[in-house]
Amino acid sequence: MIKKVMLAALSMFLLGVLAACGTSGDSSEESNGTIVMGTSADFPPFESFTPEGEYEGFDIDLAHKVAEELNYDLEIEDMSFDGLIGSLQAERVDMVMAGMSATDDRKENVDFSVEYHHSGEMFVTQKDSEVTSLEDLEGQTLGVQLGTIQEEGAKELQDEYGFEIKEMDEATTLIQELKTGRVDVGYMDKTVAEGYIEEQDLAGFDDPTTSSPGMAIAFPKGSDLVEDVNEVLEQLIEDGTVEELEEKWELTEE
């Protein structure tokens, strides 16, 4: 009888030890919380939707890797590009990845990570268009996406080259307006433009006038995440992960 009692007590003790070990191991894997990321998923190959409605793209993959390294869950919210900065200022999202260039004007309102990609700008036209240079823009209607660096650039070029500007919410709308003749030229990020040119059988030419800042992750002013995210980004750049993602999404120069 005593032997049975001792065996039972020993069994209970061992179960308690195993349970404690299991709890300790699980706690080390617990998430630090959830990062809410804002994006504008109309900007392939940086961010867009699959036919099944899932987010995909270079920024999406990189965001997941950053969150994983920091042991956070990632929640993504889609919105119009021109509403992203306001969402950061209102702290409705923790960070933004949307092919956003770290311009001086934006730095007055939000903080940025280190730059992780650089693309440039391009003008997009119909294949039979006679607009093949900046000088040909006079009298044309130029389409841009609201809130983008291209909108800012177009306003700087407008007086010199004499074109009208038509602003719209989404890059996909810009391309639709171009194909239906409601704008003569689209002004876009070069990588995105090249994708539309190939997919929609369009034409285009590089903008020779600017050297835009690189893309970076945006945060609310004073965010505690900036330092940690920078550390991870620098690691991912150094170990070749960012380059691998650029190759996956065909962002590298030929």
Q: According to the model, what pLDDT value does residue 72 have?
A: 98
Phi and psi dihedrals of 249, rounded to 5? -95, 15
Longest Cα–Cα distance in the chain: 102
Q: According to the model, what pLDDT value does residue 119 have?
A: 86
Q: According to the model, what pLDDT value does residue 14 have?
A: 44
Written as one string, the DSSP assignment of 192-237 is HHHHHHHHHT-EEEE--S--PPPB--EEETT-THHHHHHHHHHHHH
Q: According to the model, what pLDDT value does residue 253 have?
A: 61
* Nearest alpha-carbon partner for 40 in 14, 19, 12, 60: 60
Q: According to the model, what pLDDT value does residue 105 have?
A: 92
E strand segments, 52-163:
55-56, 73-78, 95-96, 110-112, 121-125, 141-145
Q: According to the model, what pLDDT value does residue 212 have?
A: 76
CA dist 218 to 17, 35, 174, 200, Å?
46, 13, 24, 31
CA distance 191 to 151: 16
Q: Is 44 helix (H, G, I), strand (E, B) or coil?
A: coil
Domains in the chain, start-ordered, CATH in brackets? Answer: 34-118+213-248 (3.40.190.10), 121-206 (3.40.190.10)
pLDDT per residue rounded down to tens, the chain (254 residues): 333 444 444 444 444 444 444 443 344 568 999 999 999 999 999 999 999 999 999 999 999 999 999 999 999 999 999 999 999 999 999 999 999 999 999 999 999 999 999 988 999 999 999 999 999 999 999 999 999 999 999 999 999 999 999 999 999 999 999 999 999 999 999 999 999 999 999 999 999 886 678 999 999 999 999 999 999 999 999 999 999 999 999 997 65
CA distance 217 to 215: 7
Q: According to the model, what pLDDT value does residue 252 have?
A: 77
Q: According to the model, what pLDDT value does residue 23 have?
A: 41
Q: According to the model, what pLDDT value does residue 10 have?
A: 43
Judge contact between 120 and 188, C-beta under 8 A. no
Q: According to the model, what pLDDT value does residue 9 have?
A: 46
